[in-house]
Structure 1
């Protein structure tokens, strides 16, 4: 099951909603006949701002004195903005309560002074002081690992699971022992035996029976959890729990604690805190990102919503719903509901709804609108036959499906068999020419 959010953070999220509702009520207080409660509502909003910010202290890096000071400084800054902008909507420039008065300028001054104080205090108690503190930490405690299943992804094996934390938040697990990953795709089942150490970035709780930890394994994984292991994949997938980056065909997803960016062919959306700006109708991301990474050999599997990415040193597979795209060097295979295509060097085959095209060396076979065209060198032949047309569609699809079985097993395109199958098709078509 997923790790439960701590109670104070759940309360904080609830209070954010209450504050947003109060802001709406305050803006429309005239229509709601609440003008006489103008300042009372404003003070309630200000109090909630401070409570929300203080409740958020230590979410990632633990509670420290500097963290509390920075939270109060941020709250004063937000209050300064609220009073300044609120002045355009009828909020008094000076608010008074039990002898305490506050203005936008005073709140901004408090924010700046407290920010400076926080920086000074941070020299003594801020938990991030060294480069290694920016990285997740593998805990020196272990639990029995017997495998897991997540959204169609099956991890089989046995060994030990070590929690990985960033600050006080668990962001994943380090697995000691050999495991096998298995996932079904529209073109077959991918199976890969992983050589440890393996890291699983997930909020899933893998705690089982406690077992004795291996300090040497902890040190090894800690040394391997360095930004350099992600450099070759920087344009594809990064998942450190608190930072998530995914890039695929026409799709980008970036998530930080305060920022989220979604870019799809349908549109883009940027979220900064509670503010959302979008253009078009980008797809929403549901659920968590789940990543399995083999630290030593570079295998990486990532699940984001209905998207699955499998990256190795030899190939990359991208699955979106029922569409599968495979790439390896110059080879590319695409399989969808009504479309399949395969390309490798000077060979390409594509089959759509009611059309097909095959290119191999200097020969091109195309089928469309019930007829077939064959071009070999400078010679062009046209076959107006429904039987020949259906034959090309059938054979082209069979060829791609045959190759997809080898591709999904990591064997790549069998060019010898591909050449043989295309030449067999050419021989059959030549019979229609007499």
Structure 2
């Protein structure tokens, strides 16, 4: 443990005493005939809370931007408790500071948001001193690895599994050896051979027969376990065992040692230690957030509840139930129960229940209500034919499904074939115009 040395920390301790004295004075303000100064004393206490927390930045780890944000987040949390509990002792539920109003609920919200920001700001600008104490560590012991299965995800391979711990808690495993991951999706099976070293962030126990560890492998993985593996990337999914962040369509999940946030269309839930706050009725998360990652090449597969995400340097696939979304640069493919769509550059295709729309270069084909409209440049043609209408729906869906087969294999959109199929459809429709 470090000693609190220096003028800054001595001033901080002095201000702690002043704050404690003010709290006592505020509690007994009625007996001291100071009731008229109720809000002024409370505001002074709040100001001192922020000053004390900011003066404490760097006590253990050295000053960083994230440390400052965490200090402000903690101050807001203490202020939220003070205003909430103070309400039982006559403190107004809303305080005004230079035109800025603050309530217990607002202070708690600021605390949560700033806590998350502190983790993500400055590319995970973690402390300078004793940095390794605040990162997961690979233990120098190994167990025989023969694969695992988790919620539809199959990991095949053979080699050695090394426990990864954060503090005293095991948060994952480092795998030395050949590994292949396989998972079934609504549009096919994703199969990927991973290039080690590979880590699996999970609470699952993979302990088997003890084998001799490889010290060089342990050192290599330990040096690579850093938030900097996400550096320079606009990641919405981050997993380092003790930090888990998943941001998807209508879904956000953040889990830290002291904080858990779940946000769904049904509502939000925040847990801070034993404190649980609800807004609406968010769906409960089943199981854990499970992640497999290549440390060297950037492949990452993450499963949380009914969501599966596969991220590589070239593309990203997200699966929610029976809906699959693929993104790669300007290319996007979506396949659902009643809707499929594809967009790539100047080409877009969408097919819903009873409607379809295709755009290629300067031509647009739309089908709805038993009619087909074709616009080429300034010319517009309308085909009132049930046969033509069904043809567009059928061909548009076939085109998207054809592309999905290549996409799930990681080959991307075949633009040449896509152009050819759309132009073939356009030629067939022209026959209906005579």
CA-CA distance at 1:129 after TM superposition: 6.3
Kept in 2, the 8 Å contact 1:128–1:134? The answer is no
Query: Which digits, 9 at most, give the CA deviation of each residue in 1:96-141, with x for residues without a partner?
Result: 9999999999999999999999999999999996111110110000
Q: Secondary structure at the match of 2:397?
A: helix
Q: Deviations over 1:343-370 (max 9, x none)?
A: 0000000000000000001110000011
SS in 1 for 2:207: coil
Residue correspondences, number? 434
Shift of the alpha carbon at 1:181? 0.7
More displaced stretch, 1-10 vs 403-412? 1-10
Aligned with 2:231: secondary structure?
helix
CA distance in 2, matches of 1:237, 1:270: 19
- Structure 2: how far apart are the matches of 1:421 and 1:368? 20
Counterpart CA distance in 2 for 1:216 and 1:404 is 42
Corresponding position of 1:422: 422
Deviation at 1:256, TM superposition (A): 1.6
Whether the 8 Å CA contact 2:70–2:114 is kept in 1: the answer is yes
Deviation at 1:242, TM superposition (A): 2.5
Q: 1:203-222 CA deviation, whole Å, 9 max, x = no partner?
A: 01111111100000000000
After superposition, the C-alpha distances for 1:365-405 in whole angstroms (9 at most, x for unaligned) are: 00001100001111110000111100100000000000000
Q: Which runs of 5+ in 2 are unaligned?
A: none
State yes or no: 1:366 paired with 2:334.
no
**Where in structure 1 are there 5+ consecutive unaligned residues?**
none
Task: Tell me by how many angstroms 1:259 deviates.
Answer: 1.6
Q: CA RMSD in A?
A: 11.3
Q: Is the 8 A contact 2:267 2:282 kept in 1?
A: yes
Greater Cα offset, 66-75 or 209-218 = 66-75
Q: 2: CA distance between counterparts of 1:190 and 1:352? A: 26
The 1:5–1:417 alpha-carbon spacing in structure 2 relative to 1, beyond 3 Å, is farther
Tell me if the contact between 1:357 and 1:364 (Cα under 8 Å) persists in the aligned partners. Answer: yes
95-104 vs 266-275, which deviates more? Answer: 95-104
Partner SS state of residue 158, structure 1: strand
Change (3 A) 1:197 1:338: same
Tell me, yes or no, if the aligned pair for 1:194 and 1:294 is still in contact at 8 Å: yes
Structure 2 CA distance for partners of 1:190 and 1:21, relative to 1, 3 Å: farther
Please, what TM-score do these two structures have when normalized by structure 2? 0.72
Deviation at 1:241, TM superposition (A): 2.5
Instruction: Give the deviation of 1:172 after TM superposition.
Output: 0.2
- Aligned mates of 1:21, 1:133 — CA distance in 2: 36
> TM-score, normalization: structure 1?
0.72
Whole-Å separation in 1 of the counterparts to 2:75 and 2:146: 46
CA deviations on 1:244-300 (whole Å, 9 max, x unpaired) are: 111122322111232222223444333323434344443332210100000000000
Residues 124 and 227, structure 2, Cα contact 8 Å, conserved in 1: no
